[in-house]
Amino acid sequence: MTLSKSYTMKTRFLMIIVFFVVCATYAELEAYGHGVGARFNAGFYRIENETISKTTVPVGESFFINGTIASLVERDIQGKMDVKFDYANNDSLFVKILKSNFSCLAQDMCTKPIRVAYDQNHWYIDIKSTPDAYVLEGNDMIPYSIEITALKGGTYHIHTDPDADISSFRHIGPGQTIVVEGSQDVTEGELFEFYVAYSLGFVLIIIGMGYGTVFVYRRKQRE
């Protein structure tokens, strides 16, 4: 006996509903198991009352980001205060491609401000955070202050990043554009960690290609 099309469709529809109900229930139980409670959709923490002391500074002068991290859950959260930012200056297109580790090519963003990687922050700014590392207790609040000194002229769009120990959730501050007036010369971090490193890499590649060419040429001569 063959089943009608309507019966088959109803069965599939019911199975889909059951699947989503089971997934939703599992997600909620997981959330409660980690101390998130009924507000888990709102996130684990948020940044409140953030202010920035200046939006235009000369190179070498500091400005401050002040605010509060508020816990939205019962569990403790550990982290390290940091910032993430985009940076626009007079770097050539080739330099931007290398600094982004070629990722801007895939995202078609090479003509836009550089999205600076965390391990490159010190090329452009000096950061002093209070607190540096922190433990945010459940349903508590911690005030913070981040002193930032720009090392290079350009336009920065900076967000506070509490960098909490929650891989599935990351919340950053609202962000602010800061114009830094002054020299856009290469900083010490850029010089040794970018330009010197890439120059040595290119030299080694050329030397390797030279040796490879000579090896192939001599091998053909022997044949």
Distance CA 192, CA 198 (A): 9
Whether the predicted model's global pTM rises above the 0.85 cut: no
Residue 24 confidence (pLDDT)? 44
Residue 2 backbone phi and psi in degrees, to 5: -95, 145
Range of the domain at 31: 8-42
Distance CA 124, CA 214 (A): 42
Q: What is the pLDDT of residues 4-13, one digit of tens each?
A: 545 455 555 5
CA 102 to chain CA centroid, nearest Å: 16
Same domain as 106, residue 19: no
Specify the number of domains making up the chain: 2
Same domain as 18, residue 111: no
Q: How many helices and strands, by DSSP H and E, does the chain display?
A: 6, 11
Distance CA 149, CA 163 (A): 20
Residue 9 confidence (pLDDT)? 55
- Edge-first strand listing for the sheet containing 125-130: 45-52, 62-71, 141-150, 125-130
Q: What is the CATH number of the domain that holds 75?
A: 2.60.120.570
Same domain as 16, residue 91: no
Residue 38 confidence (pLDDT)? 33
How many other CB atoms sit within 10 Å of the CB of residue 66? 16
Same domain as 166, residue 123: yes
User: Quick one: the chain helix, strand, coil %, rounded to 5?
Assistant: 40, 30, 30
Same domain as 109, residue 13: no
Tens digit of each residue's pLDDT, the chain (223 residues): 444 545 455 555 556 554 554 454 444 333 333 333 333 334 789 999 999 999 999 999 999 999 999 999 999 999 999 999 988 887 877 787 787 777 777 666 777 787 788 888 899 999 999 999 999 999 999 999 999 999 999 999 999 999 888 876 778 888 999 999 999 998 998 888 888 888 888 889 999 888 888 888 788 787 7
Show the tokens assigned to 5.
Answer: 């099309």
Q: Are 49 and 69 in contact, with CB atoms under 8 Å apart?
A: no
CA 99 to chain CA centroid, nearest Å: 14
Q: Are 161 and 140 in contact, with CB atoms under 8 Å apart?
A: no
Same domain as 109, residue 24: no
Terminal CA-CA length for the chain? 76
CA 46 to chain CA centroid, nearest Å: 17
* Residue at 28 is within a domain: yes
